[in-house]
């Protein structure tokens, strides 16, 4: 999003992110999908340290939502490589152009799920492909050649700025002008946690921690593993 010289920062952090579960992992655990793992569990390692958790600097997107609709932002580069996209979740105003660049030494074939304007198409090594985000909503991007590669694009008319947290969950949002905002976290194409109000005036604003997820109760089988 465009920034002015007087841009102010909204600072905060997210907690509970270790309890977020990527849909790809959830599907992989389904026995009907016939997924297999050759890893051996180590009983001396507590279960909480064996649990997968997301790489939040690319999977959790923090958005400052204005009270008014915002113009489309400048084109955004999405890197496709290493079995993932960078970022994995992004929030932009409708009309924003995304540029997907294949950084792998092999081709990808990206497409939008049920998105007629983003049909499957080959992208060779180093190639770029552009797509303009249409109306408000959540869009899922997949790859026909790598089924585990999934990305989510949230088209939100009022988004004024976005940021990604550090590995410790800390983030800073640079908003273009003073005003009233709401800060919402997004994961896997959906809002997570409570949206917090932020009144931005002539100085930086600090928020209370945003709890994006809470632990679920483990079954006896999960506790034994």
- State pLDDT tens for residues 100-151: 999 999 999 999 999 999 999 999 999 999 999 999 999 999 999 998 899 9
**Is residue 5 reached through a cis peptide bond, with omega within 30 degrees of 0 on the bond before it?**
no
The total number of structural domains that make up the chain: 1
Q: What is the CATH number of the domain that holds 55?
A: 2.60.40.420
Q: Which residue has the higher pLDDT, 4 or 31?
A: 31
Q: 24 is in which domain, residue-wise?
A: 8-224
Q: Judge whether 24 lies within some domain.
A: yes
> Does 88 map to a domain?
yes
CA distance 174 to 1: 9
d(CA 162, CA 171): 10
User: What confidence score (pLDDT) does residue 154 get?
Assistant: 98
Q: Is residue 32 part of a domain?
A: yes
Single pTM value for the model: 0.86
Helices and strands counted in the chain (H then E): 4, 17
Q: Is 2 within the bounds of a domain?
A: no
pLDDT digits (tens, 9 = 90+) for 153-208: 999 999 999 999 999 999 999 998 899 999 999 999 999 999 999 999 877 899 99
Is residue 3, in this structure, part of any structural domain at all? no
Position with higher pLDDT, 11 vs 1:
11
75-107 pLDDT, tens digit each: 999 999 998 999 999 999 999 999 999 999 999
Q: How far, in Å, are 27, 79, 99, 104, 125 from residue 128 at the CA level?
A: 29, 9, 6, 12, 9
Over residues 13-19, mean pLDDT: 95
Q: How far apart are CA 133 and CA 131, in angstroms?
A: 6
As a whole number of angstroms, the distance between CA 198 and CA 181 comes to 5
Instruction: Decide if 1 is inside a domain.
Output: no
Do 104 and 125 form a contact (C-beta atoms < 8 A)?
yes
DSSP secondary structure code for residue 219 in this structure: P
On whether the CB atoms of residues 24 and 150 are closer than 8 A, the answer is yes
């Amino acid at each position: 999003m465009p920034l002015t010289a007087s841009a102010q920062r909204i600072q905060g952090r997210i907690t509970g992110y270790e309890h977020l579960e990527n849909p790809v992992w959830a599907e992989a655990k389904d026995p009907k999908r016939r997924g297999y793992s050759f890893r051996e569990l180590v009983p001396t390692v507590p279960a909480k340290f064996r649990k997968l958790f997301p790489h939040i600097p690319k999977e959790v997107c923090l958005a400052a939502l204005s009270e008014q609709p915002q113009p489309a932002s400048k084109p955004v580069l999405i890197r496709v490589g290493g079995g993932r996209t960078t970022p994995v979740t992004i929030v932009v105003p409708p009309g924003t152009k995304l540029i997907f660049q294949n950084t792998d030494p092999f081709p990808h074939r990206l497409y939008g799920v049920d998105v007629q304007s983003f049909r499957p198409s080959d992208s060779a090594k180093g190639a770029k492909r552009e797509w303009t985000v249409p109306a408000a909503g959540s869009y899922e991007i997949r790859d026909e050649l790598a089924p585990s590669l999934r990305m989510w694009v949230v088209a939100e008319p009022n988004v004024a700025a976005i940021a990604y947290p550090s590995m410790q969950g800390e983030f800073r949002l640079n908003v273009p002008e003073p005003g009233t905002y709401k800060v919402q976290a997004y994961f896997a194409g959906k809002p997570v946690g409570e949206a917090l109000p932020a009144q931005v005036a002539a100085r930086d604003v600090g928020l209370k921690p945003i709890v994006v997820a809470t632990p679920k109760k483990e079954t006896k089988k999960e506790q034994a593993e």
